[in-house]
Amino acid sequence: MPLDWSPLVDLIREHDDFLLMTHIRPDADGLGSQMALADALGRIGKKARVVIGSPLPPRYEFLDPNREIIVNYEPPGDAFADCQAIFVMDTGTWNQLGEFGDYMKASKLPKVVIDHHRTQDDLGAMRFVDTSAEATGRMSYEIIRALGAPISPTAANHLFMALALDTGWFRHPNTTAESFKLAEELVRLGANPPPLFEQLFECSPVERLRLVGVALGRLQTRASGQIAFTEVYLTDYAATGAVPGDTEDLINYPRSVVGVEVALLFIEQPEGGTKISFRARSRVDVSKIAEAFQGGGHKLASGARSDLDLPTVKEQVLKAVEAALNLPDSPRL
Q: Which CATH number is 250's domain given?
A: 3.10.310.30
Give the residue among 41, 49, 39 at the shortest CA–CA distance from 77: 49
189 and 213, same domain (yes or no): no
Containing structural domain, residue 11:
6-201
**Mean pLDDT score across all residues of the chain:** 95
47 and 190, same domain (yes or no): yes
Q: What are phi and psi of 190, to 5 degrees?
A: 125, 0
What tens digit of pLDDT does each residue of 11-66 get?
A: 999 999 999 999 999 999 999 999 999 999 999 999 999 999 999 999 999 999 99
Residues 6+ apart with CB under 8 A from 185: none
16 and 140, same domain (yes or no): yes
pLDDT of 308 reads 95
pLDDT of 1 reads 59
Angle, in degrees to the nearest 10, between helices 153-166 and 136-147? 150
| Angle CA 49–196–155, to nearest 5 | 35
Instruction: Tell me how far apart the alpha carbons of residues 77 and 81 are, in angstroms, rounded to a whole number.
Output: 7
Instruction: Please say which residue of 201, 218, 245 terminates a domain.
Output: 201
How far is C-alpha 9 from the chain's CA centre?
25
CB atoms within 10 A of CB 106: 9
Look up the pTM and report it.
0.86
pLDDT of 330 reads 43
32 and 162, same domain (yes or no): yes
Residue 332 falls inside a structural domain: no
Residue 146 falls inside a structural domain: yes
- On the question of pLDDT at 71 being above 50, the answer is yes
93 and 56, same domain (yes or no): yes
- On the question of pLDDT at 197 being above 90, the answer is yes
306 and 181, same domain (yes or no): no
126 and 60, same domain (yes or no): yes
What tens digit of pLDDT does each residue of 227-253 get?
A: 999 999 999 999 999 999 899 999 999
193 and 242, same domain (yes or no): no
331: confidence class by pLDDT, cuts 50, 70, 90? very low
Residues 6+ apart with CB under 8 A from 96: 23, 24
Give the count of domains, the chain: 2
Instruction: Please say which residue of 179, 201, 223 terminates a domain.
Output: 201
What tens digit of pLDDT does each residue of 94-141 get?
A: 989 999 999 999 999 999 999 999 889 999 999 999 999 999 999 999
115 and 164, same domain (yes or no): yes
Element (H or E) spanning 209, and its range?
Answer: helix 206-217
pLDDT of 2 reads 81
Residue 193 falls inside a structural domain: yes
The domain that holds 133 is classified in CATH as 3.90.1640.10
User: Average pLDDT for residues 177-194, to the nearest whole number?
Assistant: 98
- On the question of pLDDT at 329 being above 60, the answer is no
Residue 121 DSSP code: -
Residue 147 falls inside a structural domain: yes
139 and 45, same domain (yes or no): yes
Instruction: Tell me how far apart the alpha carbons of residues 24 and 18 are, in angstroms, rounded to a whole number.
Output: 19
124 and 263, same domain (yes or no): no
Residue 330 falls inside a structural domain: no
- On the question of pLDDT at 333 being above 50, the answer is no
Instruction: Please say which residue of 144, 169, 201 terminates a domain.
Output: 201
12 and 156, same domain (yes or no): yes
